[in-house]
Amino acid sequence: MNAAPRASVLVVDDEPDLRTLYELTLLREGHDVTSAADLAEARHSLASRHFDVLITDMRLPDGLGLELLREVQAGQRPERTIVITAYGSAENAVEALKSGAFDYLTKPVDLKQFRTAVVAALQSQHGAGHATEATAPARAGEQALARLVGTSQAMAQIRARIEKVATSMAPVLILGESGTGKELVARAVHECSHRASGPFVAVNCGAIPENLIEAEFFGARKGAYTGASADREGYFQAARGGTLFLDEIGDLPLAMQAKLLRVIQERRVRPLGGVQEEAVDVRLVSATHRDLATMVRQDGFRQDLFYRLNVIELRLPSLRERRDDLPLLVHALLRRVCDEYGQPAPAISAQAMAWLQSRELPGNVRELENLLQRALALCDGQTLAPEDFGDDSPDTVPDPLPPEPPATHPAPPQETPPPDAALPEPSAALPADLQAYLDDQERQMLVKALRETDYNRTAAAARLGLNLRQIRYRIQRLGIALPSDGADAFRD
Ligand SMILES: Nc1ncnc2c1ncn2[C@@H]1O[C@H](COP(=O)(O)OP(=O)(O)OP(=O)(O)O)[C@@H](O)[C@H]1O
């Protein structure tokens, strides 16, 4: 993290020794320090001038530090507030963050964490107030917000909330069905924050084998387990100074939930096999499509961890709840996919758009994106038509999602055979990852056709019953390497 700019800090603590310690630490960093022993003195100082940062103990002789925080918030004052809470008082820490504190520190205060929190508070404050300091993160933030397509009220509210919550260290929990953009939102929180120049580390909590999870999260010392031939960092270390995104947090095993809770409380991690703990400097953003509150009631998720992660909740609307955004999303997704493949985006016919509008899309934006990708591969004109979506033969189009209700997606007139009646006998065991298996099959066929036609794409496409656009798309999607590493080696 960069050095802190010189700043004015108001320190409020009734213990003279601690006040002196904080004062000396801040003076050594070059800041102007004013101190107060209670709420009355602090109010007096606040009434006479503005400060950059307010650091207040929670328990003061004439009331709670929280009162000062609330007054600063209510008066829309510029001070970033850091609250110091007693060890183990999770309620106070969460309450302070919910009330708008920038961060909190727990007693006994670690001076390194104290300095880091002040630097971060100043950076976030300057990010909000001064154009020069703000330029880089602000631009990244704007771009990240713009990637969240949608003009519905629900999306406008989400964008406004992201900007608001990005300015503190409070943990954020993003809830929403699969494919509603939780990861995009997590990135936007990071990009809009003063941590934007730090790393954004995304972890899928459900994808890590249980025996590796601790080392993956906290790192491991050489020799900590068989195969640990060198010290290695975990996600918490990798995200230092940035944001750690814990996706599918509902899938975290209970034993690991206890360890994560401890790290959040202590703000320290101990690598597997290590003796010393390391300070943690990450902002936590988590997400799940599961109903965590119900999981808590059913003992599948720890209540205390839920409480710590859910300080700020962002609930993303499903696509059904923002149907009006669909046309905008279709155009934006087509542009994005075609840009990736270096193709011009085709138009979309009114009928195709109406067909998309009529779909239930339980897989939300991700399902829409998949439908458009498939249509792009099938389309051979300049305009996407309903048949490019396979709508004329729904029984031949594999759809990984639950079937649509009959009103929106009529079943074929003939009697539907039992699910496995027409299927050929599988030749081998079921693949563990169907998509990877199918991609592999497709890749083999494409490479074979290309080889047999001396890498003439038009001829290879004809052999496979595809057109040129379709084969180009598939070659790019599957990352098929070209003989001399350049598209020029291919002849259309
Ligand atoms: N509002 C949106 N604007 C543009 N693209 C979006 C939007 N929401 C989601 N997407 C796109 O949809 C896809 C799925 O989004 P993302 O991975 O963020 O969803 P998710 O909610 O994290 O899903 P899951 O719970 O399955 O992990 C991504 O390709 C993303 O870019």
Q: Mind listing the pLDDT tens digit for each residue in 301-340? A: 999 999 999 999 999 999 999 999 999 999 999 999 888 8
Report the sign of the C-alpha dihedral through residues 54, 60, 61, 66, in that order: positive
CATH of 321-396, one of 1.10.8.60, 3.40.50.300, 3.30.413.10, 1.10.10.1100: 1.10.8.60
Residue 177 CA, ligand 1 centroid: distance in Å: 10
Every domain of the chain and the residues it spans: 8-129, 132-221+231-315, 321-396, 434-489
Q: Quick one: tokens of 235?
A: 């996600």
Q: Whose CA is nearest to atom 10 of ligand 1?
A: 181
Spell out, as residue ranges, where the chain has pLDDT lower than 70: 1-5, 88, 126-137, 391-428, 482-492
ipTM confidence score: 0.97
Which mutation among 151, 153, 155, 183 tests ligand 1's pocket best, with the greatest number of atoms within 8 A of CB? Answer: 183
Residue type, 427: S
Do the domains 8-129 and 321-396 sit in the same CATH topology, yes or no? no
With a 6 A CB cut-off, is 331 part of the ligand 1 pocket?
no
- Give the CATH superfamily of 8-129: Response regulator (3.40.50.2300)
Query: For 488, how many CA atoms within 13 A lie in the half-sphere containing its CB?
Result: 1
Q: Report which ligand 1 atom has the smallest distance to the Cα of 174.
A: 21
337 CA distance to ligand 1 centroid (A)? 14
User: What atom in ligand 1 is closest to the CA of residue 365?
Assistant: 12
Rounded to the nearest angstrom, the gap between the alpha carbon of residue 289 and the centroid of all alpha carbons in its chain is: 13
**For residue 174, how far is its CA from the centre of ligand 1 (angstroms)?**
12
CATH of segment(s) 434-489: 1.10.10.60
336 CB near ligand 1 (under 6 Å): no
Distance from the Cα of residue 304 to its chain's centroid: 22
Measured CA to CA in angstroms, residue 102 lies from 59, 138, 210, 239, 443 at distances of: 18, 18, 34, 19, 51
Nearest atom of ligand 1 to the alpha carbon of 176: 21
- Nearest-10 crossing angle of helices 182-192, 153-165: 40
Minimum CA distance residue for ligand 1 atom 15: 181
The confidence score (pLDDT) of residue 427 equals: 52
Look at residue 172 in the predicted model and tell me its pLDDT: 97
**pTM given for the model:** 0.75
pLDDT given at position 219: 92
What integer pLDDT is reported at residue 206 of this predicted model? 87
pLDDT score recorded for residue 135: 42
How many angstroms is it from 377 CA to the middle of ligand 1? 21
**Buried b vs exposed e over 28-50: b needs ≥16 C-beta within 10 Å?**
ebebebbbbbbbebbbeebeeee
Q: Is the CB of 176 under 6 A from ligand 1?
A: yes
Atom from ligand 1 closest to the CA of residue 185: 18
- The domain 132-221+231-315: what is its CATH number? 3.40.50.300
